[in-house]
Amino acid sequence: MPLEVVAITGASGFLAQHLIAYLQNNATDVVKEIRAVDRKPFKKFLDFPSVIPIKHYEFDICNELHLEHALSSCTTVFHCAAKSFEFVHSEQNFADQYWHDNVNATESLINVMQTKLVRRLIFVGDAFSMLPAGDNYGLSEYMHQSLPSNFMLGKFDAIILRPPFIFGEGETHLISMAKKVCSKYGGIPIIDGDDRGNHQFIYAGNMAAIMERSMRCLMKDAAKYNGEVVLCLDRTTCMTFTNFIMPYMEASGFRRCDSISYLSSFLMAAYHSLLSKIGSKQCFGYLTLTAHRFLNGWTVGFSNRKLRLLLDFIPPFDQSEAMKKSIEWYEENETTKRKQPSVVAGERPKTG
């Protein structure tokens, strides 16, 4: 069987780097080349061997001419590129970026895959794509995941993966959001009760293993697996988002605030939403009303039955150990960041 040439979009993101690490350690028998595609420079932050050669391509995947060059002779694409949901109010309007990164980019990828006869697509979507209306995220993410389903019949084989919150070494989106919120509150906001805001999580290493497993399944029996949509979880039990994010915030130097009721927190989020509508900057850094309801109000859970039965997948990494490892990695990097400015400010350069 000929070896695979795989392309990874969004290759500078932390999930893609975990995928590269997993392929380097576990897929040398089927992959001969990795092509890392992203508009941002690639910065390696994980320790993994370089057994499989990696080529880096730095461009926006909406540029189909460049994409054709990157996908030439490619056999499998792992599509990780997407615009994540923005949780806090900001002076920037992300509506156009959602559409560009989630819809236009996917259309370009599908067009080029058909042109270059790329056979397999492992598509990473979002289990929470059907968020309530309010901005372009929910619709763009829905179309982002629907496009492969509409175009793949007879043209290429695809598995669509839908993870909930992904955590792991190198994750920045959730952590930076939480740091903004904690900065506004002067600490970690705590909402009374544990019957709200419960969610599921998946470690990036386990997500990478699912992606690699999906590629092998399509290679083995495309007719069986083509078109399947699979929810991806470490385990089905939920935990509150506050309990998940708290160790990272404590490592960043934040401490717990006095607890407040959910009603008080909801009214505060509604107030900031109103400020946003009238153009006030006072709302910047606070959770949007949609984000507040999602993170702190809802309990959202999914089944892993299809993942277990269809892909015959058991997570190689224990979630508790993975969380501990991820927090330790973050603490080490936070300590390094704190030391760097103090050296610059505290030491005068030596002369002559």
- Flag whether 166 is in a domain: yes
Length of the chain as a residue count: 352
pLDDT in tens, 311-340: 999 999 999 999 999 999 999 988 877 776
What domain count does the chain have? 1
160 strand-pairing partners: 123, 229
- Flag whether 246 is in a domain: no
Handedness of CA 267, 268, 270, 275 (dihedral sign): positive
Instruction: Indicate the pairing of strand 239-240 with strand 198-199.
Output: antiparallel
pLDDT score, position 33:
98
pLDDT score, position 345:
41
- Flag whether 64 is in a domain: yes
**Weakest mean pLDDT among 205-209, 276-280, 342-346:** 342-346
pLDDT at 57 over 60: yes
**Weakest mean pLDDT among 47-56, 73-82, 295-304, 315-324:** 295-304
Read off the pLDDT of each residue in 235-261 and give the average, rounded to a whole number.
94
pLDDT bucket at 209, cuts 50 / 70 / 90: very high
- Flag whether 289 is in a domain: no
pLDDT at 154 over 80: no
pLDDT score, position 337:
75
pLDDT in tens, 169-204: 999 999 999 999 999 999 999 998 777 899 999 999
Mutual angle of helices 204-220 and 319-346, in 10-degree steps: 130
Q: Which domain holds residue 139?
A: 4-171+199-237+300-325
| Choice between 337 and 228, residue whose per-residue pLDDT is larger | 228
pLDDT in tens, 33-56: 999 999 999 989 999 999 999 999
- Flag whether 227 is in a domain: yes
| Choice between 153 and 213, residue whose per-residue pLDDT is larger | 213
Check which CATH number belongs to the domain holding 110 and give it: 3.40.50.720
Report pTM: 0.89
pLDDT at 347 over 70: no
pLDDT in tens, 89-139: 998 888 788 888 888 899 999 999 999 999 999 999 988 876 555 554 555
Read off the pLDDT of each residue in 226-249 and give the average, rounded to a whole number.
94
pLDDT at 252 over 50: yes
CB 82, CB 102: distance < 8 Å? yes
Handedness of CA 38, 41, 47, 50 (dihedral sign): positive
- Flag whether 258 is in a domain: no
pLDDT bucket at 2, cuts 50 / 70 / 90: confident
pLDDT score, position 196:
86
pLDDT bucket at 352, cuts 50 / 70 / 90: very low
- Flag whether 12 is in a domain: yes
Quickly list H helices, the chain. 14-26, 64-71, 95-99, 105-115, 137-151, 173-185, 204-220, 222-225, 241-251, 262-277, 289-292, 305-310, 319-346
Read off the pLDDT of each residue in 254-262 and give the average, rounded to a whole number.
93
Q: Which helix (H) or strand (E) holds 38?
A: strand 31-38
pLDDT at 152 over 80: no
Share of the chain above pLDDT 90, in %: 72
pLDDT score, position 204:
97
CB 161, CB 230: distance < 8 Å? yes
| Choice between 195 and 277, residue whose per-residue pLDDT is larger | 277
Which amino acid makes up residue 305?
Answer: R
- Flag whether 293 is in a domain: no
Share of the chain above pLDDT 70, in %: 89
Question: Average pLDDT, whole number, for the chain?
Answer: 88
